[in-house]
Structure 1
Amino acid sequence: MKKVKYKPLLLVLAALQLIACNGPQQVNKETLKDAFAGKFYIGTALNEWQITGRDTASIDVVKEHFNAIVAENCMKSAEIQPEEGVFDFSLADKFVDFGEQHNMFITGHCLIWHSQAPRWFFTDSLGNDVTREVLIGRMKTHIETVVGRYKGRIKGWDVVNEAIVEDGSFRESKFYQIVGEDFIKLAFQFAHEADPDAELYYNDYNEWYPGRRDAIVAMIKKFKADGIRIDGIGMQGHIGMSGPSIEEYEEAIMAYANEGMKVMVTELDMSILPNPSFGDLGADISTNFEYRKEINPYEDGIVPLEKQNEWDSRMVEFFNLFLKHSDDITRVTLWGVNDRTSWKNNFPVRGRTDYPLLFDRENQPKSIVGKLIDLAKQTK
């Protein structure tokens, strides 16, 4: 009978026992915020479950990888002031507290936006449109109250969101119809008065469209001529696999930077799904198309490796562009922590399953995270 040698086996068992007693040995994990330190802030949007701490797994990702945060919904006017004079800061306060506790750059989003605004903002007791003077007064009260509450705590504000359409004309919102184009300038004026030290931004999607880009540049020039403070442009960055091109996006970055603006990518995500006839929708949340099986190919959660690599390559291209212009780009913020909670799952088709972010549905880093960390480390 062959003699069995137990010594190697005993050594393995001893090692396993040591791990069981002391836990797995921690390796130094490189994080996104460390990799991009000195280049730009790397941020994410937080939803209600994350702000309140109920989604603990997502919050762990936020604390580990990000050093900037923006509120996805809780600071929009319908949430903050659902009735005239009735302000609810309960969730917004928790959001700001979280950012301060973890030494993060906090952005307020957003003060004036035609969508997710309460209906009362624009109407009188009979349901008729209010006068220009009344709406300006309501804007002033709202902005002064919200910005004033977080004076010195929130570092920058998306003052006006999505006020210009692709051809460069003004969006026919109630703000524009009642006040005229001055509503944008007035909003920036009121925000500056409420907190003279806060940075003030204009934020929009499809911000690379030549018509919209040129109109934003013209607005910046007009603000400067009128002595109105504006510090930066938020390029939302809701991109797709087929557009915009890197060249188109770079042209927009340079156009804003050439006007002395800080440039931020404020709501970055990239749909991996087919986009056969939607065009460049950006983030017009009122848009919805009929569900078809062929435009929801990964509902089982499995993305083919070839497709994931294609997605990774395009995202790396964009981050390479951001790093190239890091002297002008101050922040790159993802619009959500993980694929499961992304708004892209239902846009522009309800019921689709999308994979537009850096972390998967279980809050695990996707292959892109390591690639971005390596890219940042290689960039001087």
Structure 2
Amino acid sequence: MTVGVVAFATAAALNTVPATAGKPYDPTTQSLAKLGLRHGLQIGTAVDMAALNDASEPQYRKIVATEFSSVTAENVMKWESLEPTRGNYNWGPADQLVDFAKRNRQSVRGHVLVWQNQLPTWLTSGVADGSISRQELRELLRKHITTVVSRYQGKISQWDVINEAVSDPWDNPPTLHYKGFWAQHLGPDYIADAFRWARAADPKALLFYNDYNIEAFGSGDPADDKTQFVYDMAKRLLAQRVPIDGIGSQGHLGTQYGNYDTLQVAAALKKFGALGLVTAFTEVDVRSQLTEAVQAGDEAEINPRLQASAANFSVLLKACLAVRSCLSYTVWGFSDKYSWVPSWFNDPPEGLATIYDENFQPKRAYYEIKSDLIFAGPPYVLPRIAPKPRR
């Protein structure tokens, strides 16, 4: 009974809004960060450190500091950035982000410890020419994870330990499998090893597997349903007492696709939650094809894309709000000016992927996210459940 009363009182306090007779409370003036706190939900963004440090872009720095309660390094915590030459670490940009977050009372998501992309040349070339053996490669991975996680122990709340380790149905072969550099050279056991090494380096950080195209279940067949494959993988890891705490769903969507509805996405989050895992949306953006008409400024082409984008951002957020084990919602950059999409998706060209335009003006997606945070509440949306890192 006491626990129930406390829980009810806590929920009531979180949903109480300050106001005076002369100045009614207006939630629309609040930041995404403050509105997220009402639900115990972290609202985050990936950060481009060059833009953050650019004196000619004060608006970028201001928005990062005021709108978000969590930050993720877009690139500066990846291996090629941290250790460009063997044994020589470049901690400066990553340290700057962690210090920035501390000054602004923000949490930090660590991205990423193990990924087959953006590896240092000295590592990949050493493996290719045989100068780095399999045994040495495994030791280098252990050392990298231990060194990085230990440096930021107590400063990073969530780590993407493994990123994008599973193939796609359109790959060759089409049957889903473990893909990439690490699976090729160490076999799939590297995944369990990485989680154990990360846990040894930081007993309190939450450790995630992170991937794209796992927003909802499809066929339910692990041979061609990536979400099912990841679910089965996580279940096996837990059975082996591997200290995996959560699943990160990246949330890279496109308005040209069918995508998902809120109930489908919430069902996936609940299924991972039933395993005892927390979840998070970690890299949300919604890109659109930049047709000639869009590039020419044709509103009849632009407006439907902006509306579809807002709807997709909203679907993921509403699903997260509905599931108490979903702890954070991070957009992968917030301004089209610094989005990774145009440089990566250029045939055909794509863009319009974020919640602010190139002039740092909020788009329809921003306001849709804000309204979701404002109007969601009990009994269907409750404060987050605080997890304990798995040992």
Q: Compute the TM-score of the two structures, normalised by the length of structure 1.
A: 0.81
Q: Using a 3 Å threshold, how does the CA distance of structure 1 residues 209 and 362 change in structure 2: closer, same or farther?
A: same
Mapped partners of 1:213, 1:158: distance in 2: 17
Match among 173, 191, 203 for residue 196 of structure 1:
203
Match among 291, 298, 311 for residue 294 of structure 2:
298
Mapped partners of 1:137, 1:66: distance in 2: 37
Q: Using a 3 Å threshold, how does the CA distance of structure 1 residues 125 and 227 change in structure 2: closer, same or farther?
A: closer
SS in 2 for 1:271: strand
Matches within 5 A, 1:46-57: 46-54=47-55, 55-57=57-59
Amino acid at match of 1:299: Q
Amino acid at match of 1:52: N
Post-superposition offset of 1:53: 4.7
Mapped partners of 1:81, 1:314: distance in 2: 37
Mapped partners of 1:50, 1:322: distance in 2: 29
Mapped partners of 1:42, 1:319: distance in 2: 10
Amino acid at match of 1:166: D
Pair 1:243 & 2:248 matched: no
Q: How many residues align?
A: 333
Bigger shift: residues 156-165 or 54-63: 54-63
Match of 1:169 in 2: 176
Match among 221, 229, 233 for residue 215 of structure 1:
229
Matches within 5 A, 1:63-74: 63-74=65-76
Match of 1:15 in 2: none
**Percent of aligned pairs with the same amino acid:** 27
Mapped partners of 1:307, 1:221: distance in 2: 38
Post-superposition offset of 1:129: 6.7
Mapped partners of 1:255, 1:214: distance in 2: 10
Alignment gaps of 5+ in structure 1: 1-26, 275-294
Amino acid at match of 1:322: C
Match of 1:232 in 2: 246
Post-superposition offset of 1:171: 3.5
Q: Using a 3 Å threshold, how does the CA distance of structure 1 residues 297 and 183 change in structure 2: closer, same or farther?
A: farther
Mapped partners of 1:226, 1:126: distance in 2: 32
Post-superposition offset of 1:130: 3.3
SS in 2 for 1:260: coil
Match among 341, 344, 365 for residue 344 of structure 1:
341
Mapped partners of 2:342, 2:287: distance in 1: 9
Conserved 8 A contact 1:264-1:330: yes
Q: Using a 3 Å threshold, how does the CA distance of structure 1 residues 60 and 129 change in structure 2: closer, same or farther?
A: same
Q: Using a 3 Å threshold, how does the CA distance of structure 1 residues 33 and 233 change in structure 2: closer, same or farther?
A: same
Larger Rg: 1
Q: Using a 3 Å threshold, how does the CA distance of structure 1 residues 302 and 148 change in structure 2: closer, same or farther?
A: farther
Mapped partners of 1:297, 1:233: distance in 2: 39
Conserved 8 A contact 1:106-1:154: yes
Mapped partners of 1:38, 1:347: distance in 2: 36
Q: Using a 3 Å threshold, how does the CA distance of structure 1 residues 162 and 129 change in structure 2: closer, same or farther?
A: farther
Q: Using a 3 Å threshold, how does the CA distance of structure 1 residues 190 and 364 change in structure 2: closer, same or farther?
A: same
Match of 1:37 in 2: 37
Post-superposition offset of 1:173: 1.7
Alignment gaps of 5+ in structure 2: 1-26, 170-174, 219-224, 378-391
Conserved 8 A contact 1:170-1:181: no
Match of 1:93 in 2: 95
Mapped partners of 2:177, 2:123: distance in 1: 19
Q: Using a 3 Å threshold, how does the CA distance of structure 1 residues 318 and 228 change in structure 2: closer, same or farther?
A: closer
Q: Compute the TM-score of the two structures, normalised by the length of structure 2.
A: 0.79
RMSD: 2.3
Q: Using a 3 Å threshold, how does the CA distance of structure 1 residues 178 and 308 change in structure 2: closer, same or farther?
A: closer
Match of 2:158 in 1: 156
Amino acid at match of 1:109: H
Pair 1:378 & 2:385 matched: no
